[in-house]
Amino acid sequence: MSAPWPADFNLIAAYRHQTIRSSHFKVYKLAVFRIIQGPAFRLAHNRTDSDGDPNKTKGREMKWNIARVENPPVGSHLARCIGLIDIGTQHHPGFQGGSPWNSRDVYIAFELCGVQMAGLYKPELKGKIFRVATTVKQSLHPSAKLRKFLVSWRGKDFSNEEIEKFEPKSIVGRGCRLTLVERNSYVNIDGIAPCGPTEKPPKATYPLIVFSLEKEEFDQKVYAQLPESLRNKIAKSPEFKALVGAEPEGEEPDQYAGEDESNNIPF
């Protein structure tokens, strides 16, 4: 396969000076390599022609479109759960050569109390409260990530009776303390714990949402309120595809679990 560079693009490699030269630009090779190793980029070529036609091109230009996301600060934060979203059965490709698998997943969202965005990349977001989330398999098996997450949140394990009576929607609106860490340029939830005895999270600034793909609880209106990225993910699930074939039941589910101003976790 021939190289996608024009004929006048010369790569000059020297022991003391390694540069890339063309009629349009000159950059140090090391700088290019550093950009390529960045979070995300797209390389586009625009041709021009020497016949003077302004609709044609004459050489090629590099255009870098880097995806930028403002990360919340790492460390420990007082937070409140604002969303419990059933995203249905999702396909997961194998990690590092491992076998792929499918699992019925749930998306749990939190807002970081009082931690505001600076609007670094989107000025319209300045002053908005940071939101973070985690996605786990819907399983309360003792070895499941969701079970361990909830145990860390409440500070103790479940008894058999508590597990039988556990209501997932009860976590929405509840306070907690999250630990955030940075990995590969992104900040993620690394741990969760109960609020301290004197800590009282403020009321949520975002709506509290519960969304289920169970037939008796499915609500198209709540689905429409979700971010586009979540809607697209949910739409791929077999549970959603089975539901949209028929009109959902008219009775609306209990959308919000409400906020308890105490720090007592109800599970």
Residue 3 lies in a domain: no
* 55 and 83 assigned to the same domain: no
Residue 259 lies in a domain: no
* 208 and 231 assigned to the same domain: yes
Range of the domain at 149: 75-243
Closest CA to 255 of 227, 217, 229: 217
Residue 248 lies in a domain: no
Residue 108 lies in a domain: yes
pLDDT in tens, 195-238: 999 999 999 999 999 999 999 999 999 999 999 999 999 999 99
pLDDT in tens, 155-172: 999 999 999 999 999 999
Residue 181: pLDDT over 70? yes
If 0-12 CB within 10 Å is exposed, 13-18 middle and 19+ buried, where does residue 239 land? middle
* 36 and 116 assigned to the same domain: no
* 141 and 20 assigned to the same domain: no
Distance CA 69, CA 63 (A): 19
CB-based contact 109:81 (threshold 8 Å): yes
* 148 and 172 assigned to the same domain: yes
pLDDT in tens, 91-133: 999 888 889 999 999 999 999 999 999 999 999 999 999 999 9
Length of the chain: 267
* 96 and 210 assigned to the same domain: yes
Distances (CA, A) of 185 to 38, 45, 74, 125, 217: 9, 28, 12, 20, 37
* 30 and 147 assigned to the same domain: no
* 159 and 228 assigned to the same domain: yes
* 30 and 158 assigned to the same domain: no
Residue 81: pLDDT over 90? yes
Distance CA 122, CA 117 (A): 10
Residue 180 lies in a domain: yes
The reported pLDDT for the residue numbered 64 is 54
* 85 and 154 assigned to the same domain: yes
Residue 114 lies in a domain: yes
> Residues 76-89: what's their mean pLDDT?
98
| pTM score of the predicted model | 0.69
* 105 and 24 assigned to the same domain: no
* 87 and 143 assigned to the same domain: yes
> Residues 59-75: what's their mean pLDDT?
73
Query: Considering its fold, how many domains does the chain have in total?
Result: 2
Residue 21: pLDDT over 60? no
